[in-house]
């Protein structure tokens, strides 16, 4: 099938483009490079061993989107293009509403007009807010704790309304828990702009010498060692889930909303230990105050994804840390260490 990957130059869209290509699909990437680069796409091409059609495009640009849709006959769209920093969303909520929500409306309209009726959408465990119960099931109460989370909640609702209005529209809404790791080649990986917000890329940058010490946000949570517990998931498992979800849309001809996680909770200090083993070096850290808005414990019940898509996470924590570290060690400055082709 021919698949339009919006946000395909980014971390998860890039890894998914690789798996799509490996599974025989033709990928077309569109991205505005607000949080990625052409260098990342050049590396993707190196991994798949073939050129990938690329369009520099903002998903809010309806004319540009229409042009891309008219150039190909897409069987489905995978929509990764969003801003994703929780802290930034609290400071600039309008930017998040515009980029994520307006962008998604523009994408949905372009799909309708081009008669493309299959969508795989990047949602997030953030739609559960601070969950009352773990493991979190898909029928748990939904709630936005910050503007970023609100955009995910609203986008899920918009997609749901479209599925109701158009009986032929099929969507797979994928609620990711904590994606980490990288392609085993070490050629592609996560390359955040500025200081990383997330634990894994921060540890990677400490290990490679770009940052001095990790700050552990709180050790007084009611957890195994007092630090926050999350459900970390290898990005290659996550990428595979997108292709499984696409198969589901085509074969079962039904829409679906599922959690994507391993189902296991890991504390910050357990994660630090696992990473130290993988990298073969110590990660110096300080315990500091809790980060505002953090939950104590969040992990998925991934049973529905297994039952419906036949998907299950396969990589363990050691593989996640090993692959994240390989990427960072080979690319200390991320994609910035590469000369960008024009
Ligand atoms: P990323 O920033 O690496 O990738 C997103 C890509 O979309 C980037 O290449 C960016 O340049 C592009 N983009 C953003 N706005 C755009 C626009 N208006 N037009 C065109 N391109 C645009 O992020 P990621 O980690 O790969 O996340 C992908 C998706 O998964 C996002 O929707 C994110 O909210 C969601 N998600 C991510 C995580 C995570 O921890 N990484 C967790 C849950 C959900
Ligand atoms: N965390 C931390 N130091 C950091 C970044 C994160 O201690 O520099 C903790 C954070 O409080 C949480 C866990 O690591 O308990 C995962 O945080 P991340 O931001 O990666 O994911 P999220 O909180 O969005 O699930």
Whether 100 shows a pLDDT value over 70: the answer reads yes
CA of 271 to the centre of ligand 2 (A): 10
pLDDT on residue 340: 41
Confidence at residue 293, expressed as pLDDT on a 0 to 100 scale: 87
pLDDT for the residue 338: 46
Average pLDDT over residues 98-103: 98
CA-nearest residue for atom 22, ligand 1, is 81
Give the confidence band of 337 by pLDDT, cuts at 50, 70, 90: low
State residue 336's pLDDT score: 85
Rounded distance from Cα 199 to ligand 2 centre (Å): 5
Is 148 in the active site? yes
The residues spanned by each domain of the chain are: 2-336
In this predicted structure, the answer to whether residue 34 has a pLDDT above a threshold of 80 is yes
On the question of pLDDT at 342 being above 50, the answer is no
What average pLDDT does the segment 142-150 reach?
Answer: 97
CA of 87, nearest ligand number:
2
Burial class (CB in 10 A: 0-12, 13-18, 19+), 61: middle
Question: Per-residue pLDDT averaged across 134-158, rounded?
Answer: 97
Q: Which residue lies with its CA nearest to atom 11 of ligand 2?
A: 217
pTM of the predicted model as reported, rounded to 2 decimal places: 0.98
Query: Does the Cβ of 70 fall within 6 Å of ligand 2?
Result: no
CB count within 10 Å of CB 195 equals 10
Contact 3, 77 (CB under 8 A): yes
User: Mind listing the pLDDT tens digit for each residue in 217-259?
Assistant: 999 999 999 999 999 999 999 999 999 999 999 999 999 999 9
Instruction: Report CA(80)–ligand 1 centroid distance (Å).
Output: 5
Could you tell me if the CB of 197 is within 6 A of ligand 2?
yes
pLDDT of residue 339 exceeding 50, the answer is no
Average pLDDT over residues 101-119: 98
Q: Which residues contact 241 (CB under 8 A, 6 or more apart)?
A: 174, 260, 305, 309, 311
**How far apart are the C-alpha atoms of 28 and 53, rounded to whole Å?**
5
Distance 218 CA to ligand 1 centre (A): 27
pLDDT of 165-188, one tens digit each? 999 999 999 999 999 999 999 999
Query: How much is the average pLDDT of 260-282?
Result: 98
User: Would you call 71 exposed, middle or buried from its count of C-beta atoms within 10 A (0-12, 13-18, 19+)?
Assistant: exposed
Å from CA of 121 to ligand 2 middle: 24
Q: Look over the chain and give the mean of its residue pLDDT values, rounded to a whole number.
A: 97
* Residue 157: band (very low, low, confident or very high) from pLDDT cuts 50, 70, 90: very high
Catalytic residue selected from 148, 176, 221, 232: 148
Which band of pLDDT confidence, cut at 50, 70 and 90, is reported for residue 341? very low
| Ligand whose nearest atom lies closest to the CA of 270 | 2
C-alpha separations of 176 from 60, 158, 163, 233 in Å: 24, 18, 21, 8
pLDDT at 174: 99
- Segment 45-50 long-range contacts (CB within 8 Å, at least 24 positions apart): 46/187, 47/18, 47/183, 47/185, 47/187, 47/188, 48/17, 48/18, 48/21, 48/22, 50/21
pLDDT exceeds cutoff 70 at 156? yes
Is CATH 3.40.50.720 correct for 2-336?
A: yes
Q: From the alpha carbon of 9, which atom of ligand 1 is closest?
A: 9
Atom of ligand 1 nearest to the CA of 13: 26
Measured from the Cα of 14, ligand 1's closest atom is: 26
Q: Whose CA is nearest to atom 21 of ligand 2?
A: 198
């Amino acid at each position: 099938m021919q698949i339009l990957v919006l946000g395909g130059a980014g971390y998860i869209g890039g890894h998914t483009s690789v798996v799509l290509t490996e599974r025989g699909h033709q990928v077309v990437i569109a991205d505005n490079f607000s949080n990625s680069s052409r260098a990342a796409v050049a590396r993707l091409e190196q991994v798949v061993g073939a050129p990938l059609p690329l369009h520099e495009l903002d998903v809010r640009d309806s004319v540009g989107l229409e042009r891309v849709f008219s150039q190909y006959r897409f069987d489905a769209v995978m929509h990764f293009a969003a801003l994703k920093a929780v802290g930034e969303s609290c400071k600039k909520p309008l930017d998040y509403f515009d980029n994520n929500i307006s962008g998604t409306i523009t994408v949905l309209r372009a799909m309708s007009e081009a008669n493309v009726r299959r969508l795989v959408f990047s949602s997030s465990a953030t739609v559960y807010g601070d969950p009352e119960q773990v493991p979190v099931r898909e029928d748990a109460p939904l709630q936005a704790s910050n503007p970023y989370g609100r955009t995910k909640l609203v986008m899920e609702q918009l997609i749901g309304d479209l599925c109701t209005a158009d009986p032929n529209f099929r969507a797979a809404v994928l609620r990711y828990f904590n994606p980490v790791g990288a392609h085993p080649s070490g050629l592609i990986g996560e390359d955040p702009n500025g200081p990383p917000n997330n634990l894994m890329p921060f540890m990677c940058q400490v290990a490679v010498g770009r940052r001095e010490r990790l700050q552990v946000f709180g050790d007084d949570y009611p957890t195994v060692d007092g630090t926050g517990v999350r459900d970390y998931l290898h990005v290659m498992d996550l990428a595979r889930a997108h292709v499984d979800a696409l198969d589901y849309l085509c074969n079962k001809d039904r829409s679906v909303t599922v959690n994507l996680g391993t189902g296991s909770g890991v504390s910050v200090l357990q994660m630090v230990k696992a990473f130290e083993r993988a990298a073969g070096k110590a990660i110096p850290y300080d315990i500091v105050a809790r980060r505002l808005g953090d939950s104590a414990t969040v992990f998925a019940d991934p049973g529905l994804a297994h039952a419906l898509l036949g998907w299950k996470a396969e990589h363990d924590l050691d593989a996640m840390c090993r692959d994240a570290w390989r990427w960072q060690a080979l690319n200390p400055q991320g994609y910035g260490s590469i000369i960008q082709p024009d």
